Amino acid sequence: MAAPLTPESPAALADAVRAHPRVLAIGARTKPRLSQVPEDVTLVSTRALRGIVEYEPEEFTFTALAGTTVREIGEALAEKGQYLPFDPLWFEAGATLGGTVCAGVSGPGRFRFGGVRDFILGIRFVDGLGRLLRMGGKVVKNCAGFDLPKFFVGSLGRYGALAEVTFKVFPAPASRLTLKLPTTGAEAAAHVLTDAANSRWECEALDLLPDGQAVLLRLAGPAPALEPVSREILARWPGRVLSAAEADAAWSELRELRWTHPGGALVKVAITPATVPALATAAGSLDGTRVHISAGGNVAFLSLPPTVPPTALQERLRALNVPAVTLCGNAPLWCGARATPAITRAVKQALDPQNRFPSTED
Amino acid sequence: MADALHRLAALLPGDRLLTRPEQLAVYESDALTAFRTRPLAIAIPETTDEVVALVRFCHQERLPFVARGSGTSLSGGSLPVADGIVIALNRLTRILRLDPDQRIAVVQPGVVNTQVSLAAAPHRLHYAPDPSSALICTIGGNVAFNSGGAHCLKYGMTANHILGIKAVLPTGEVVEWGGPSRENIGPDWCGLFNGSEGLFGIALEITLQLLPKAECFHTVLAGYRTLEQAGDAVSAVVASGLLPGAIEIMDALALEAAVAAVHAEYPPGCEAVLIVELEGTREAVAADRGRLDAIIAASKPVEMRPARDAEERMAIWKGRKSAFSAVGRLSPDFIVQDGVVPRRRLGEALRRIGEMARETGLRVANVFHAGDGNLHPLILLDGRQPGALERSEALAGRILKLCIEMGGSITGEHGVGVEKLEYLPAMFNADEMDCMMRLRAAFDPLGIANPGKKFPRAKVVQCVPPAPLGVHPLGCGVAADTLKGGHPTPGQAGGTALL
């Protein structure tokens, strides 16, 4: 395959889309399965579409080109005491903002205030007709037009090529505290997740570690408030407060997906806390499969060793009736339960009538 | 049409298909009372199956339909169409499931907003979006217009709380998107459906996320000599790194109205009152309240009044939430506007609105979500005076254009409806409008779902065949001139226009 094109402006991205009958925009390819498409598709990299276009800390908003890395964003926000509350994944690995939107992946912090979909405000994108369009807005509240920015979250670049995105941000909490609560078995862990999620504590993140041995619970807020809340939690369940260094290491391990099998499939599954035990059983039946449960039991990342046939996973996820998408490795793109009503094709046809972007099945 | 109505009668018992003029009159208008249109009939389904059957009937007969909840739309979102029917969803009021462990509720579209929080309250949960009309507006309407409220800065709008939607599309297709999980796989169809103003069909079952109720609040009311000072106080709060649950401002005229309506008490001699509310665990609020109080004290208010207990907090909110309807006491009629400006330009926007009001000789009360930059100028008028409505609408239009010029939006939470039809093309260029029209046509090829809202009523979109690859396409959609004008205005809205 030829080296990807690297347009340097949104207009050049539109030119690139118009110049090729089949196109897919790619970012840093931290989720390579999403750009594993037929050979006749020309890949257009957003590598040179990089930089913050506007950042107004007092507005709680920024606009950046799609190829800007989430790390660059994170660092610019941190300088002003702000952050993206959904903890973008593959932060160190160079994930881009556009890729994060199109893949629809959020990190552990999405538990408290929501995920990518809850912070995206506006987009500029190139549609299948090669037009550079703006949808949504640049202010924190706006309901003019159709909410295509939200639709693009999880759209895998199949409906358009993202050039620019606008996000809402929040002031960063003054301090954080992480507790590690050992658990035995998925059932018990699911109870901890549910009870903590429904508590008065306002947890920022609530995850079951890939080894299945402990729940990691993060508190955020003014420093004097965290210690008494943590004591209350530790009176409820055994566990301990992690040191700052331990906590950083533990969250970084999850955020960077370092716990996954190199070369194996990585699948995102939308679940509920009630399905955690069944999912754990299903994963247990696939030798060596690791599961990270995040967002208080609302999402699971499954990592398969390269030896496990991906079809086996697909069968199990369909049996559980949970939807899933493969981010890395060699497994079917849509790996779980899935319905494709007629409107799916009609909207694809509306935004991309010439099928310039890969089909939603590729 | 009489034939179609006759066939429609086979779908519902006679007492649930209203066609007599005195019955239709009740549905002629919504909360945008300047517009009235008499529909052909009102269909009152009691089950979601009946809703699906009605929509399929409309599709088959090419009969326009307007879904309606409680009719609280301030943009005319549920204004009927003269050649169509209204599908009234007020009897679909079941909360189908409330799962406190998963913190979700699955509701029918006619469930009233506050009913969800009431049902969730025994589990210490609540449904966060709280439009001022929460006591009567329905979840179906909230979804259609992506309603907001006073807590959007921290918690987002309706769309941020909708996890799943089962809907009947204008083609009659029934779809299910999302579900009980807070995470989604694939494109966010629920997000797209939210705020589609009824153009994408009717939601039948809606899965809502519930949140634990905040344990503790700290609500401060502060009065200022000038609106600018109140605006500066907002900037100071925002710059402090605190994340309040709500930041609201009311101006002198709105205060006067709230005093008249609910006997609210405000510091005397103030041109503006600011309300800021912190919420969180008792430990977090205890840690932050001193900081907030210090920031507000430093902003030189005439007086500041932290609520000392739950009762005082409720009184503060009662005054704020009553302001819209209270303005009705100051004036026979009023128009509520809903623009958004970047927060740092709030002071400037308010000053310009004040100037424009003086030029026009109209009184404008301002009640707004300052934390979001979401303005709600209430233009006071007496509709019986000749030309008053036209002058008010012209002023409203100038305010919206100001919002666009400042980089904001023509609507934060009320939607475009019929009221702002001519301003959407000022925010989006012809290609962007065309893209939205194509989307609309994908959902509704016949153009029968809530026609004339968000976009002017136009002929069915005809797509040109795709251009050869590599050639800049001609695009498709309605001709540019049909995007302008043609929207119902009083007197031509298909019925008698009255105030």
pLDDT value for B458: 65
CB A109 within 8 A of CB A205: yes
Chain A nearest C-alpha distance from B441 (Å): 8
Task: Find how far residue B94's CA is from the centre of its chain.
Answer: 23
Determine whether the interchain pair A225/B189 forms a contact, defined as Cβ–Cβ distance below 8 Å: no
CA distance B205 to B193: 13
Determine whether the interchain pair B191/A350 forms a contact, defined as Cβ–Cβ distance below 8 Å: no
B residues 317-376 lying closer than 8 A (beta carbon) to A: 340-344, 369, 372-374
* CATH tag, B331-405: 3.30.1360.20
Chain A nearest C-alpha distance from B2 (Å): 32
CB B270 within 8 A of CB B251: no
* CATH tag, B2-88: 3.30.43.10
CB B43 within 8 A of CB B17: yes
CB B450 within 8 A of CB A182: no
B residues 8-27 lying closer than 8 A (beta carbon) to A: none
Determine whether the interchain pair A141/B173 forms a contact, defined as Cβ–Cβ distance below 8 Å: no
CB B371 within 8 A of CB B343: yes
pLDDT value for B325: 79
Domain regions of chain B by residue span: 2-88, 95-212, 216-324, 331-405, 424-483
Chain B nearest C-alpha distance from A305 (Å): 23
Pick the residue from chain A with its C-alpha nearest to B189: A151
Chain B contacts of A133, Cβ < 8 Å? 431-432, 435
Mean pLDDT of A66-74: 98
- Between A147, A197, A334, which is nearest B192 by CB? A147
Q: Sheet holding B17-18: strands in order across?
A: B17-18, B41-43, B85-88, B65-68
pLDDT value for A257: 98
At B289, give phi and psi (nearest 5°).
-65, -35
Pair of tokens at residue B234: 């907002």
Determine whether the interchain pair B101/A194 forms a contact, defined as Cβ–Cβ distance below 8 Å: yes
CA distance B67 to B77: 9
Report helix, strand or coil for B255.
Answer: helix
pLDDT value for B263: 86
CA distance A245 to B496: 71
| Among A117, A140, A279, the residue to mutate for chain B (most B Cβ within 10 A) | A140
- Between A110, A171, A197, which is nearest B241 by CB? A171
Chain B contacts of A228, Cβ < 8 Å? 283
Burial A62-90 (b: 16+ CB within 10 A, else e): bbbbbbbbbbbbbebbeebebbbbbbbbb
Pair of tokens at residue A328: 């890395």
Task: Flag whether residue A153 sits within 8 Å of chain B, measured between CB atoms.
Answer: yes
One-letter amino acid of B294: A
CA distance B28 to B38: 5
Pick the residue from chain B with its C-alpha nearest to A275: B181
Determine whether the interchain pair B344/A58 forms a contact, defined as Cβ–Cβ distance below 8 Å: yes
Task: Flag whether residue B442 sits within 8 Å of chain A, measured between CB atoms.
Answer: yes
Percent of chain A with pLDDT over 90: 97
Helices B252-262 and B310-321, axial angle in degrees (round to 10): 110
Report DSSP letters for B325-353, one per residue. Answer: HHHTTTSSEEEE--EE--GGGHHHHHHHH
Q: Of B131, B132, B33, B27, which is closest to residue B332 (Cα–Cα)?
A: B33
Chain A contacts of B413, Cβ < 8 Å? 141, 143
Helices B430-443 and A342-351, axial angle in degrees (round to 10): 160
Domain regions of chain A by residue span: 10-171, 175-255
A residues 112-141 lying closer than 8 A (beta carbon) to B: 113-115, 117-118, 127, 129-131, 133-135, 137-141
Determine whether the interchain pair A146/B156 forms a contact, defined as Cβ–Cβ distance below 8 Å: no
pLDDT value for B493: 30
Pick the residue from chain A with its C-alpha nearest to B290: A222
Q: Which residues contact A22 (CB under 8 A, 6 or more apart)?
A: A38, A40, A41, A42, A355, A356, A357, A358
Decide which of 3.40.640.10, 3.40.50.1980, 3.40.470.10, 3.30.70.610 is the CATH code for A175-255: 3.30.70.610
- Helix ranges restricted to H, B152-268: 152-155, 189-193, 227-239, 252-262
- Between A151, A200, A325, which is nearest B281 by CB? A200
Pair of tokens at residue B42: 């009102």
Pick the residue from chain A with its C-alpha nearest to B216: A200
Pair of tokens at residue A94: 């160079």
Domain B95-212, what fold? 3.30.465
CB A153 within 8 A of CB A118: no
Long-range CB contact pairs, B323-327, < 8 A, 24+:
B323/B132, B323/B250, B323/B254, B323/B257, B323/B258, B323/B365, B323/B367, B324/B132, B324/B367, B324/B376, B324/B378, B325/B261, B326/B254, B326/B257, B326/B258, B326/B260, B326/B261, B326/B262, B327/B253, B327/B254, B327/B257, B327/B365, B327/B378, B327/B380
CA distance B269 to A254: 56
Chain A nearest C-alpha distance from B434 (Å): 10
CA distance B498 to A65: 49
Report DSSP letters for B49-88, one per residue. Answer: HHHHHHHHHHHHHT--EEEESS---SS-TT---TTSEEEE
Mean pLDDT of A162-180: 98
Other beta carbons within 10 Å of B46:
16
One-letter amino acid of A280: A
Chain B nearest C-alpha distance from A289 (Å): 21
| Among A31, A141, A294, the residue to mutate for chain B (most B Cβ within 10 A) | A141
pLDDT band at A277 (very low <50, low <70, confident <90, very high): very high
Q: Of B447, B449, B436, which is closest to residue B475 (Cα–Cα)?
A: B436
Determine whether the interchain pair B288/A268 forms a contact, defined as Cβ–Cβ distance below 8 Å: no
Task: Flag whether residue A349 sits within 8 Å of chain B, measured between CB atoms.
Answer: yes
- Between A57, A141, A145, which is nearest B424 by CB? A145
Low-confidence residues of chain B, pLDDT below 50?
Answer: 459-499
Pick the residue from chain B with its C-alpha nearest to A300: B183
Chain A nearest C-alpha distance from B214 (Å): 7
Determine whether the interchain pair A129/B184 forms a contact, defined as Cβ–Cβ distance below 8 Å: no
Decide which of 3.40.50.880, 3.30.160.20, 3.30.300.30, 3.30.465.10 is the CATH code for A10-171: 3.30.465.10
Query: Any idea what DSSP says for residue A11?
Result: H
Q: Of A101, A95, A21, which is closest to residue A63 (Cα–Cα)?
A: A101
Chain A contacts of B415, Cβ < 8 Å? 143
Task: Flag whether residue B191 sits within 8 Å of chain A, measured between CB atoms.
Answer: yes
Chain A contacts of B467, Cβ < 8 Å? 354
Determine whether the interchain pair A269/B185 forms a contact, defined as Cβ–Cβ distance below 8 Å: yes
Pair of tokens at residue B349: 């926007």
At A165, give phi and psi (nearest 5°).
-135, 150
pLDDT band at A174 (very low <50, low <70, confident <90, very high): very high
pLDDT band at A1 (very low <50, low <70, confident <90, very high): low
Q: Which residues contact A82 (CB under 8 A, 6 or more apart)?
A: A57, A60, A169, A170, A171, A172
Determine whether the interchain pair B436/A134 forms a contact, defined as Cβ–Cβ distance below 8 Å: no
Mean pLDDT of A25-43: 96
Determine whether the interchain pair B408/A155 forms a contact, defined as Cβ–Cβ distance below 8 Å: no
- pTM (2 d.p.): 0.94
Task: Flag whether residue A143 sits within 8 Å of chain B, measured between CB atoms.
Answer: yes
Determine whether the interchain pair A298/B157 forms a contact, defined as Cβ–Cβ distance below 8 Å: no
Q: How many CB pairs under 8 A join A and B?
A: 285
Task: Flag whether residue A319 sits within 8 Å of chain B, measured between CB atoms.
Answer: no
Domain B216-324, what fold? Alpha-Beta Plaits (3.30.70)
Pick the residue from chain B with its C-alpha nearest to A201: B281
ipTM reported for the complex, 2 dp: 0.97
A residues 32-61 lying closer than 8 A (beta carbon) to B: 56-60
